[in-house]
């Protein structure tokens, strides 16, 4: 049974990894000092720590259906609270929005009507927060082949979330003083490669040695 394998893994973690990294966990028990806020999808095929080879305590992670960050609202939401805490409470200097290939959430967004009856909560989430992406893609690329349309939608969804992040007062303040940098990434499951948005040519390019930070709209161009 799957849960037995999970429990076996817990035991193996405690007996081996934890035991050999006891000093690290002792340090972590005193507090956290993550370096990056990593926002990605809940998809089981995505593991932020695995693909970035990060240790426990190095990433502050937010995950949900479609790696969506709702625009700022005074009523608040869990994602917004996490962003605010990461930046104001933990002093995060870099934020990554990481979409991924074959994203089921974006597939659903492009065929939103099919979700209303079967998954009403998913429908509400995507309809409410994904409409800017859906409209942009279908209005401008609607005649593209389905596979290419999905790729474009995944990319545009990431850029939409960057724009949403910029609506948060704490983000705008930190960007104004150049204390924070936003990054737009796409993880390709089948190749293991990560593509970063390069604003100089308006495309996602293979991420190798430089991070392609998204330009600060308060001091330069906008993606």
Q: What is the pLDDT of residue 91?
A: 97
- CA distances, 9 to each of 42, 45, 63, 124 (Å): 21, 18, 22, 35
Q: Confidence class of residue 220 from pLDDT cuts 50, 70 and 90?
A: very low
Q: Confidence class of residue 4 from pLDDT cuts 50, 70 and 90?
A: very high
Instruction: Find the mean pLDDT for residues 16-22.
Output: 96
Give residue limits of the domains in the chain: 1-31, 34-206
C-alpha span between 60 and 39 (Å, rounded): 8
63: alpha, beta or left? (left if phi > 0; alpha if psi -120 to 50): beta
C-alpha 169: how far from chain center? 19
- CA distances, 216 to each of 132, 163, 165, 201 (Å): 21, 11, 12, 16
Q: What are 136-175's pLDDT values in tens digits?
A: 999 999 999 999 999 999 999 999 999 999 999 999 999 9
Neighbouring-strand partners of residue 63:
40
How buried is 221 (Cβ within 10 angstroms: 0-12 exposed, 13-18 middle, 19+ buried)?
exposed
Q: Confidence class of residue 85 from pLDDT cuts 50, 70 and 90?
A: very high
C-alpha span between 3 and 123 (Å, rounded): 29
Which range has the worst mean pLDDT, 35-44, 77-86, 203-212? Answer: 203-212
Q: Taking a C-beta distance cutoff of 8 angstroms, is the pair 77, 83 a contact?
A: no
Distance between first and last Cα of the chain: 47
Is residue 210 scored above 80 in pLDDT? no
Q: Taking a C-beta distance cutoff of 8 angstroms, is the pair 153, 100 a contact?
A: no
Q: What are 113-131's pLDDT values in tens digits?
A: 889 889 999 999 999 999 9
Q: What are 20-73's pLDDT values in tens digits?
A: 999 999 999 999 999 999 999 999 999 999 999 999 999 999 999 999 999 998
Superfamily of domain 34-206: Carbonic anhydrase (3.40.1050.10)
Q: What is the pLDDT of residue 218?
A: 53
Q: Confidence class of residue 211 from pLDDT cuts 50, 70 and 90?
A: low
Q: Would the pTM count as exceeding 0.75?
A: yes
Q: Taking a C-beta distance cutoff of 8 angstroms, is the pair 91, 141 a contact?
A: no
One-character DSSP codes across 67-88: S--PPP-TT--HHHHHHHIIII
Is residue 84 scored above 90 in pLDDT? yes
User: Of 83, 78, 85, 24, which Cα lies nearest the Cα of 55?
Assistant: 24
Signed CA dihedral, 153, 189, 222, 123: sign only: positive
Torsions phi, psi of 122, nearest 5? Answer: -65, -40
Q: Do the bridges between strand 36-41 and strand 59-64 make them parallel or antiparallel, or are there none, so unpaired?
A: parallel
């Amino acid at each position: 049974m799957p849960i037995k394998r999970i429990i076996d893994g817990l035991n193996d973690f405690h007996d081996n990894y934890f035991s050999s990294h006891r000093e690290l966990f002792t340090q972590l028990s005193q507090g956290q000092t993550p370096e990056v806020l990593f926002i990605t999808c809940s998809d089981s095929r995505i593991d932020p720590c695995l693909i970035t080879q990060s240790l426990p305590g190095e990433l502050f992670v937010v995950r949900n259906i479609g790696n969506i960050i709702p625009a700022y609202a005074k009523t608040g939401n869990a994602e917004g609270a996490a962003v605010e805490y990461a930046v104001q409470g933990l002093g995060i200097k870099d934020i990554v929005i990481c979409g991924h290939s074959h994203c089921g959430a974006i597939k659903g967004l492009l065929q939103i009507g099919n979700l209303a009856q079967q998954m009403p909560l998913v429908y509400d989430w995507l309809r409410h927060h994904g409409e800017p992406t859906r409209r942009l893609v279908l209005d401008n690329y609607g005649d593209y082949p389905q596979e290419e349309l999905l790729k474009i939608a995944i990319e545009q969804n990431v850029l939409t979330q960057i724009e949403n992040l910029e609506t948060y007062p704490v983000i705008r303040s930190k960007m104004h003083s150049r204390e924070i940098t936003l990054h737009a990434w796409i993880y390709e499951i089948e190749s293991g490669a990560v593509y970063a948005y390069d604003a100089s040519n308006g495309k996602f390019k293979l991420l190798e040695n430089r991070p392609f930070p998204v330009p600060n709209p308060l001091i330069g161009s906008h993606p």
